Amino acid sequence: MTVAAQMLDTYPKDLGGVDKDKLRACIEACVECAQACTACADACLSEGMVADLIKCIRTNLDCADVCEATGRVLSRHTGYDANLTRAVLEACAAACKACGDECEQHASMHEHCRVCAASCRRCEQACRDLIASLG
Protein backbone atom coordinates (compact mmCIF):
# COMPACT_ATOMS: atom_id res chain seq x y z
CA MET A 1 0.00 0.00 0.00
CA THR A 2 1.43 3.36 -0.98
CA VAL A 3 1.83 6.28 1.39
CA ALA A 4 -0.81 8.23 -0.54
CA ALA A 5 -3.26 5.34 -0.07
CA GLN A 6 -2.40 5.08 3.63
CA MET A 7 -2.92 8.81 4.14
CA LEU A 8 -6.28 8.73 2.37
CA ASP A 9 -7.34 5.68 4.43
CA THR A 10 -6.40 7.40 7.68
CA TYR A 11 -8.13 10.72 6.94
CA PRO A 12 -10.53 11.11 9.87
CA LYS A 13 -13.48 12.54 7.93
CA ASP A 14 -15.48 11.67 4.83
CA LEU A 15 -13.87 12.72 1.52
CA GLY A 16 -17.18 14.18 0.39
CA GLY A 17 -17.93 11.69 -2.35
CA VAL A 18 -14.56 12.00 -4.09
CA ASP A 19 -13.53 8.68 -5.66
CA LYS A 20 -10.68 7.62 -3.36
CA ASP A 21 -9.02 5.35 -5.95
CA LYS A 22 -9.00 8.06 -8.63
CA LEU A 23 -7.76 10.61 -6.10
CA ARG A 24 -4.94 8.30 -4.98
CA ALA A 25 -3.99 7.50 -8.57
CA CYS A 26 -3.89 11.19 -9.44
CA ILE A 27 -1.78 12.15 -6.43
CA GLU A 28 0.69 9.37 -7.24
CA ALA A 29 0.77 10.30 -10.94
CA CYS A 30 1.44 13.95 -10.07
CA VAL A 31 4.33 13.07 -7.76
CA GLU A 32 5.80 10.66 -10.33
CA CYS A 33 5.43 13.15 -13.17
CA ALA A 34 7.03 15.98 -11.18
CA GLN A 35 10.05 13.76 -10.56
CA ALA A 36 10.22 12.58 -14.18
CA CYS A 37 10.01 16.11 -15.53
CA THR A 38 12.67 17.38 -13.12
CA ALA A 39 14.99 14.52 -14.06
CA CYS A 40 14.29 14.98 -17.77
CA ALA A 41 15.10 18.69 -17.61
CA ASP A 42 18.35 17.84 -15.85
CA ALA A 43 19.19 15.16 -18.43
CA CYS A 44 18.46 17.61 -21.24
CA LEU A 45 20.99 19.98 -19.69
CA SER A 46 23.59 17.21 -19.98
CA GLU A 47 22.97 16.60 -23.66
CA GLY A 48 25.47 17.90 -26.22
CA MET A 49 22.80 19.78 -28.13
CA VAL A 50 21.32 21.56 -25.12
CA ALA A 51 20.45 24.62 -27.21
CA ASP A 52 18.01 22.45 -29.19
CA LEU A 53 16.32 21.40 -25.95
CA ILE A 54 15.60 24.81 -24.40
CA LYS A 55 11.84 24.56 -24.96
CA CYS A 56 11.84 20.99 -23.64
CA ILE A 57 13.69 22.04 -20.50
CA ARG A 58 11.32 24.94 -19.86
CA THR A 59 8.25 22.78 -20.47
CA ASN A 60 9.64 20.09 -18.17
CA LEU A 61 10.23 22.54 -15.35
CA ASP A 62 6.81 24.17 -15.75
CA CYS A 63 5.13 20.77 -15.75
CA ALA A 64 7.10 19.63 -12.69
CA ASP A 65 6.01 22.72 -10.75
CA VAL A 66 2.35 22.35 -11.74
CA CYS A 67 2.33 18.63 -10.94
CA GLU A 68 3.97 19.21 -7.58
CA ALA A 69 1.44 21.90 -6.66
CA THR A 70 -1.44 19.72 -7.85
CA GLY A 71 -0.27 16.78 -5.78
CA ARG A 72 -0.13 19.00 -2.71
CA VAL A 73 -3.59 20.51 -3.33
CA LEU A 74 -5.06 17.03 -3.84
CA SER A 75 -3.46 15.87 -0.58
CA ARG A 76 -5.46 18.42 1.44
CA HIS A 77 -9.10 17.65 2.17
CA THR A 78 -10.11 19.88 5.05
CA GLY A 79 -12.12 22.83 3.72
CA TYR A 80 -12.21 21.23 0.25
CA ASP A 81 -12.98 23.66 -2.60
CA ALA A 82 -14.29 21.77 -5.64
CA ASN A 83 -13.90 24.74 -7.99
CA LEU A 84 -10.25 25.28 -7.08
CA THR A 85 -9.52 21.57 -7.28
CA ARG A 86 -11.10 21.36 -10.73
CA ALA A 87 -9.09 24.40 -11.93
CA VAL A 88 -5.83 22.96 -10.61
CA LEU A 89 -6.55 19.60 -12.25
CA GLU A 90 -7.32 21.30 -15.58
CA ALA A 91 -4.05 23.25 -15.37
CA CYS A 92 -2.13 20.08 -14.55
CA ALA A 93 -3.70 18.16 -17.44
CA ALA A 94 -2.79 21.04 -19.80
CA ALA A 95 0.81 21.21 -18.51
CA CYS A 96 1.18 17.44 -18.86
CA LYS A 97 -0.20 17.48 -22.39
CA ALA A 98 2.18 20.26 -23.43
CA CYS A 99 5.17 18.55 -21.83
CA GLY A 100 4.24 15.14 -23.19
CA ASP A 101 3.91 16.61 -26.69
CA GLU A 102 7.27 18.37 -26.41
CA CYS A 103 9.10 15.37 -25.00
CA GLU A 104 7.66 13.08 -27.67
CA GLN A 105 9.39 15.23 -30.29
CA HIS A 106 12.74 14.24 -28.74
CA ALA A 107 11.88 10.69 -27.65
CA SER A 108 13.56 8.97 -30.60
CA MET A 109 16.88 10.64 -29.74
CA HIS A 110 16.67 10.84 -25.94
CA GLU A 111 15.37 7.97 -23.85
CA HIS A 112 14.77 10.29 -20.89
CA CYS A 113 12.31 12.26 -23.03
CA ARG A 114 10.47 9.05 -23.94
CA VAL A 115 10.15 8.06 -20.29
CA CYS A 116 9.05 11.56 -19.34
CA ALA A 117 6.47 11.76 -22.12
CA ALA A 118 4.92 8.50 -20.92
CA SER A 119 4.74 9.80 -17.35
CA CYS A 120 3.13 13.03 -18.58
CA ARG A 121 0.50 11.04 -20.49
CA ARG A 122 -0.32 8.97 -17.40
CA CYS A 123 -0.63 12.07 -15.25
CA GLU A 124 -2.76 13.90 -17.81
CA GLN A 125 -5.12 10.90 -17.94
CA ALA A 126 -5.24 10.60 -14.13
CA CYS A 127 -6.18 14.29 -13.88
CA ARG A 128 -8.89 13.89 -16.53
CA ASP A 129 -10.24 10.75 -14.82
CA LEU A 130 -10.46 12.56 -11.49
CA ILE A 131 -12.12 15.61 -13.08
CA ALA A 132 -14.72 13.35 -14.71
CA SER A 133 -15.46 11.68 -11.38
CA LEU A 134 -16.04 15.03 -9.64
CA GLY A 135 -19.25 15.48 -11.66
Q: How distant, in Å, are the alpha carbons of 24, 43, 76, 119 from that of 72?
A: 12, 25, 7, 18
**Domain annotation covers residue 120:** yes
pLDDT of residue 82: 87
pLDDT tens per residue, range 1-45: 899 999 998 888 887 788 999 999 999 999 999 999 999 999 999
Segment among 8-17, 50-59, 69-78 with least mean pLDDT: 8-17
**How does the average pLDDT of the chain come out, rounded?**
95
pLDDT at 135: 67
Domain region containing 62: 19-134
CATH code, domain carrying 28 = 1.20.1270.360
pLDDT at 80: 82
pLDDT value at 87 more than 80: yes
